[in-house]
Structure 1
Amino acid sequence: MMTEAERTRLTKSPSQLLLVPRHERAKPIFYGVECFSPTLIDFYSVGDDTRLLWSSRVHRKTFRTLHMALDPTAPRHWLLHSWSFWSALLSVLGAALFLYASANEAAYHPHATTQTNSNLTQPDFPLSLVRETIDLPLLLGAASFFASYLLTFLEVINCCHDLDLWLYDYIHGLPSRRKKKWFGYYPYRIDYWSAVLGILGWAFLLQARGFVCRHELNVFGVVNLTRGNPRIFWGFWVPSLVGYFSLFMSAYLMHVEVIHRWFVIRLGLLDFWVTGLGWLGILLLFTCSFTQFIDPLNLFVADATSMRAFQAGAWALFASGVLSLFEVNTLHSPLRHPAYGKLRRANSMGRYGAV
């Protein structure tokens, strides 16, 4: 049985390292990439050869809600307690706002101020209408993605790092008793860096979109932006490009966490499509912004092409968010956790992991 001291250590002083059971208790096989903790561990018990696959992504998405989903006596509204569910919902909302804004901008005839500064203050330009129908949805979309990554960060820092103690709760079907944390620093974990880079990226984009919304010049949207004005260069283009690069690295690390290699194709996995579409979506948004910046005269890439890249990226992010909603429900299925609660009854015999 777990002693009170061990339970206190889990609740108040969680390990700063990924601790695994000793080999005489559970034989682990590790998978992952260099420089980071394992993202996949294949456990099997010494006593009865029961197998258990631990995945860092599955672990953090189910750590606080799995007992609600699988315990017949627990409340059935476990989905409302899932940070992953709300994170996916915010991602869908952000992508939908991006699509709405881009559709409005594509329908608006591009004004003649994108190439020069001569008419940036023309009095007959409907600036307030453009701000409400294009720039404000883009700002709210970036805010939705920012909030989504904040929830992901909370998931990362609040899941259990001591697998020896986690296995005890898992096999006995016990709920998590860890105290909720708001801050944490885990540089050895790939999901920590993907969450941090995502927060930084969307923070930069929030600043860029906010600058456009409060700007008095006739610049707006995604492709109707001047490159010659220094204020717009430093207020929008620099944070926008830095933000997209940070998001690209975040999406890539999130994809690496799922495939457990620097690059490999696993088409049969749902989380491969969730993270893969997210990575593709960010890449397309980054491509739109980058081509707009380096080709202001549209010599190689037309504005319409850049806009299509942005819309395709928003659709990819939308699909990724929708699949994330299905993923959350799938990860809590009893079929995914045959060993959960195996020793829930007090008279159960056998040993597994930390038991």
Structure 2
Amino acid sequence: MTNGALAVLLLGGAVLAYGQLGTGQAAGETTVRTVTASRGSVVASVSASGAVESAKSRALSFGTSGTVEKIYVKAGDKVGKGDILARLDDDAAQESLSAAKAMYDSAVADGTDTAQLYAAYIKARNDYREAQRTVAATVLKAPFGGTVTAVNGTVGGGSGGTGQSTGQSSGQESSSGFAEVADTRKLQLVGSFTESDAGKLKRGQTATITFDALPGVTATGKVTQIEPVAATSDNVVQYPVTVTFTEVPAQVRLGQTATVEVVVGRADDVVTVPSTAVSTSGGQTTVTLLKNGTQTRTPVEIGVKGATLTEIKSGVSEGDQIVPPAASTGGGTTGGFQRQFGGGGFTGGGTVPGGVRQPGGGG
């Protein structure tokens, strides 16, 4: 076989390969994946995570200093309002009370006829009242019914500070108290919502709460507080939002990690398309319609946008065929020819198998 004949065969093989690749591309282009606009419901929600805490808790301390004489409770115990939790040695306080009482009785007997006697009476009365408060402060009582969540002192130790209670009843606990009490019937969760999500929240909205350690267990709640001041971390702006439980499952415990989801929008019996099929660019929202084999970028008006479905108010009718964006394959589009050559085709000239250079043009 001559060299000229060999060259002709090689060129023919290359052209055949090119023709086959082109045929594969055309066949691929005729198969278009579509989804159908349908009628249904769309739910939009936002979510955040946090830890379960009591909506009513206190860190308690004795109202005076002294040595702990007796502790009546331990962590986990249930207590009622007014129950004694612990007591200090009150011998010195009782002695001071007796002395103050004697001085007060004497002042009462002396009368208040003169300014000097009246002043002595007022001082004796105030000293007696202060001595009574000091004796009362040697006893630590529960301010409300609940569960003892911690006891931080020991018998024989110091009272651990002064003041009947610290912390807030809104759930902010302080570990500086001698004992801590929480109402486990009133629970809440504080989640940090992103700036955009927090703008969709309102007080009174219903929330659903799920728990990492309790699969299948769900609680309900309501948004009760949206903090007006944001917290910024790593340039991410978030707002603390309090969700108060309206229903507390028996399995739920303080400190458990939970996720709260709040429904911020809902539309029923509306035209819907997958959210991934909706694009927004330059202030215009569009979808790609397929009609009579032709793909047309069509402006639409959307309503509620959920994670999976979006409400279409105008521009699309029920039953319309929508072309969703093609999934990225990392090396070009899904047409057989373009994928093999990185998506470039022959628009700038290229080399097909066999080493034959083809002219540039519309591959």
TM-score normalised over the length of structure 2: 0.19
More helix by share: 1
TM-score normalised over the length of structure 1: 0.19
Find the structure with the greater CA-based Rg: 2
